[in-house]
Chain A
Amino acid sequence: MFLKRQLPLLITLICGIVWGVQYFIPHPASDAVYSFYTDWALVIGLFAAILGFISIIRLHSMKIKYHAKNWQFSVVTLAAMPVMIVAALLTGTESGGAFMWLYNYVEVPIEATMFSLLAFYIASAAYRAFRARSAQATALLVAAAIVMLGRVPVGAQISFWTHLFPGTSIPQVASWILNVPNMAAKRAINLGVGLGMMMVSLKIILGIERTYLGGQD
């Protein structure tokens, strides 16, 4: 119990206080502590990568074993891992080798294609869901249309009224939307998120929040 609960809580408490205080002390001794910590964190991070590797093998092995939904993709994932590892070990990770060839001509086109499909889905979703159902929805709709036009060259081209009303071209209005109402809302959200993060951090350091340890606590 001590190793599973009390010790991790103690380590979290001590480290949380030390690094929290360290941040506000501009002194060589404090910097040395910080440097010592970053060395340790790098090593711990590498162990986390190994754990991730083991975890992905276990997850996909189980999917194949129990023929879970789309288990065939797990076979591809598990097969791709040794292929990439062997390619990197044999030919290195520099351009010109098998590893980079696989990366450039398999992974890059797959990822780029997946993301490119978004344009089509967004167009279809916008047509179906973007409705002026209320005053708020209409405001959102108008603002979105202005920003969409203002963020591409055509926005300036169709702003034919600017000689009558200077400073009201679509890009200028879009810029105002981004820099004033958008920024005010984002700042409020960021402050809320920041305060929330501080509270959660304090709860973790003081041992009130223990879900990161796993189990029922």
Chain B
Amino acid sequence: MKFWEKLLSIDRRIIYLVIAITVILPLFVPTGWPINVTYEVKNIYDYVENLGPDGVVLLSADYDASTLAELQPMFDTSLRHCFSRDVKVMVMSLYPQGVGLAEMSLKRIAKEYNKVNGVDYCFLGYRPGASIIIMGMGSNIRIPFPSDYYGTPLKDIPMMKGINNFSDIDLVISFSGTGIVASWLYYAHEPYNQDIAWGVTAVMASDYYPFLQSHQIVGLIGGMKGAAEYETLISKPGLATSGMDAQSWAHIMIIIFIIIGNIGYLAMRKK
């Protein structure tokens, strides 16, 4: 086999091995490249930063374990930011698998900031039927959520006093690897003018730039990079920041493989 043909037929096992090394090695030997912050993430940070103790942010963990690596760090960071600003936090999920992931984070991070369930935050849990739940919340949160995840009626939760519908919530941030985020736009922002922001996977982010430019969403956290930007803004480097080196090297390797493939392809075409 000639050199150019070899370039076109690298065994996929070699590619897998190179990618595995490229992803694993930087986790042990970090390069620590600085993370530049984009305006779409900064917008969310500024919004939360300007909220006081009377502010209420609803975080909707609409994701599952398949997108955990990208979405969990941004969920955690948003939670940390809200707690650090003493903003009241409501957490819910429109995705059955999201509720377990959200609860784990919520308990862990609430402990970090000495926040008390029912006083500083409220965990509403999961309800099926995304669009219907959001529509119901617009009228009265107690319709889809008569009680919180632990069975306490919302009327008995101190934090929920005075929070009845979207007009009492400053910002909704939905984290999802699916189109469920758009439901918040259709049923919360459009009819109720609810300020919303999205945390989505990197592959989805490009779909949502039109909504950012039209100011229908406050901001957009895209993939692990977006999460790392948020971590940088609140000066709490976490999982996303440590994953950035691995992602940088993986992207470089993929581009190198594409270049190799194209060199081989062009050389063979000339022949």
The chain A residues found within 8 Å of chain B, CB to CB, are 23, 31, 34-35, 38-39, 41-42, 45-46, 48-49, 93-95, 100, 103-104, 107-112, 114-116, 119-120, 122-124, 126-128, 130-132, 141, 145, 147-149, 151-154, 156-157, 171, 175, 178-179, 182-183, 186-187, 190
Contact = CB atoms under 8 A, between A and B. Distances in A.
B257 A126 contact: yes
B141 to A, nearest CB: 12
B251 interface: yes
Interface string B12-33: 1001101110010000000001
Given A111-B65, A127-B261, A156-B34, A120 B15 contact: yes
Given A35-B140, A126-B257, A120 B19 contact: yes
B248 A154 contact: yes
A153 B225 CA distance: 8
A31 B66 contact: no
A145 B258 contact: yes
Contacts of B245: 153
Contacts of B19: 119-120, 123
Contacts of B149: 94
Given A178-B206, A183-B209, A187-B210, A42 B100 contact: no
Contacts of A141: 258, 262
Nearest to A109: B65
Contacts of B265: 131-132
Contacts of A186: 206-207, 209-210
A35 B136 CA distance: 7
Interface stretch (B47-55, B81-89, B127-135, B167-175): B127-135
Given A111-B66, A123-B15, A179 B132 contact: no
Contacts, number: 166
B261 A149 contact: no
Contact of B209 (A93, A108, A149, A178): A178
B35 A183 contact: no
The DSSP consensus for interface residues of chain B is helix
Nearest to B64: A111
Nearest to B251: A148
Contact of B15 (A23, A114, A124): A124
B110 interface: no
Contacts of A109: 65
B119 interface: no
24 contacts: A31-B139, A35-B143, A42-B129, A42-B144, A94-B103, A100-B103, A108-B68, A109-B65, A112-B69, A115-B68, A120-B19, A124-B15, A130-B261, A130-B262, A131-B262, A151-B222, A151-B225, A152-B248, A154-B33, A157-B33, A178-B206, A178-B209, A186-B210, A190-B210
B129 A115 contact: no
Contact of B23 (A93, A114, A119, A127): A119
A63 to B, nearest CB: 23
B213 interface: yes
A181 B223 CA distance: 20
Nearest to B128: A49
B178 interface: no
B260 interface: yes
Nearest to B208: A186
